[in-house]
């Protein structure tokens, strides 16, 4: 899938928040070439671009494993952090909660503390002062409960250095949620927020389990909620946001799987229905490089579904409301957003 032609929206010039964004999934082909060269390998951008084409979730996972194999030391993580933050600034993103695949680092026996220090130091460079960042340590579900608990330990250890949440991604069909209760309890009891990928390729029961067993405060993707009205009502009542990533759901075949068809198109995505019934939804890019997208493109895609300018503004505001921020900080970002909206003549 190539990046769609993007029509501008009222959101483009406004300050934005991005809450579901994987650092390693932001590696553009040119950066992958640079990383490979650092480690004595020759790649072309065409070769990387070819690898970034797949039609199902398994193909995406294989590609993610391949491109992250070029991340071997703190300098590599510093490079991809700088590249991502530059992209976010170009899109006028002022706050980002960025997920780090800590479970993959540990599986490759890397130094988590050194890698994270490089990531954090890069984010504190003066030129990035307009962009506030926070970090989510992510366990890969298919690696099992022991691995997840080790990720949780690291998240707790580095909480005072900017880690705000513990989450779990990967293959949600690999192990039941209850297996990971100890890891999530460890993180929660240490004061970390909780997120979990669910209802991406799994059914609505995976979302319910993520909330009721693991205590998820936000759900990554959650498109399976389209099949369960009672669950949708419950999430609405609890104000548990769904982090919707439409382009991702098309590229991985997750949406096609949810609707029981060989393929899906954007009009099949439940985003519009979720918003219509009052579900808290935030719009995100997920793995922007691997899905040939960015946050501006996601808003343009949402507009093409028929969202009005008012709905787009409400969607953008929801990302600030759902952020894991202290109340006063959240209020300041919301006030800044509304002020910018008013200055642009949109209120």
Please provide residue 106's backbone torsions phi and psi, each rounded to the nearest 5 degrees.
-65, -40
Chain centre distance of CA 94: 16
Instruction: Tell how strand 241-244 and strand 218-221 pair up.
Output: parallel
- Residues with catalytic function: 200
Which residues in 236-264 are b (16+ Cβ under 10 Å) and which e? eeeebbbbbbbbbbbbbbbbbbbeeeeeb
Q: What is the C-alpha separation between 329 and 334, in angstroms, rounded?
A: 9
Strand partners, 272: none
Q: What is the C-alpha separation between 216 and 213, in angstroms, rounded?
A: 8
Task: Write the DSSP string, 27-52.
Answer: --HHHHHHHHHHTT----HHHHHHHT
> Is 96 exposed, middle or buried (CB count within 10 Å of its CB: 0-12, 13-18, 19+)?
buried
Other Cβ atoms closer than 10 A to 211: 23
Given the structure tokens 């992510």, which residue do they identify? 138
């Amino acid at each position: 899938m190539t990046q769609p032609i993007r029509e501008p929206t009222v959101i483009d010039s406004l300050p934005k928040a991005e809450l579901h964004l994987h650092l390693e999934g932001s590696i553009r082909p040119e950066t992958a070439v640079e990383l490979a060269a650092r480690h004595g390998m020759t790649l072309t951008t065409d070769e990387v671009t070819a690898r970034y084409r797949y039609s199902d979730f398994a193909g995406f996972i294989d590609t993610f494993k391949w491109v992250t194999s070029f991340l071997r030391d703190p300098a590599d993580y510093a490079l991809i952090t700088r590249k991502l933050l530059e992209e976010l600034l170009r899109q006028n993103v002022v706050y980002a909660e960025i997920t780090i695949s800590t479970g993959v680092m540990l599986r490759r026996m890397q130094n988590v503390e050194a890698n994270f220090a490089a990531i954090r130091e890069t984010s504190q460079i003066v030129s990035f002062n307009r962009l506030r960042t926070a970090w989510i340590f992510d366990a890969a579900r298919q690696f099992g409960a022991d691995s997840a608990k080790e990720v949780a330990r690291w998240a707790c250890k580095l909480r005072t250095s900017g880690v705000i949440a513990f989450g779990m991604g990967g293959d949600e069909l690999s192990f039941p949620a209850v297996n990971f209760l100890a890891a999530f309890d460890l993180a929660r009891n240490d004061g970390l927020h909780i997120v979990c990928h669910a209802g991406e390729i799994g059914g609505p029961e995976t979302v319910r389990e993520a909330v009721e067993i693991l205590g998820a405060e936000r759900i990554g993707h959650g498109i399976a909620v389209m099949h369960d009205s009672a669950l949708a009502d419950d999430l609405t009542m609890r104000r548990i946001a769904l982090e919707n990533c439409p382009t991702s759901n098309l590229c991985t075949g997750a949406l096609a799987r949810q609707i029981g068809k060989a393929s899906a198109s954007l009009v099949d995505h439940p985003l519009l229905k979720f918003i219509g019934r009052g579900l808290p939804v935030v719009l995100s890019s997920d793995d922007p490089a691997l899905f040939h997208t960015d946050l501006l493109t996601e808003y343009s895609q949402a507009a093409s579904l028929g969202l009005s300018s008012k709905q787009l503004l409400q969607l953008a505001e929801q990302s600030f409301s759902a952020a894991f921020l202290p109340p006063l900080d959240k209020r300041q970002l919301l006030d800044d957003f509304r002020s910018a909206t008013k200055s642009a003549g949109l209120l």
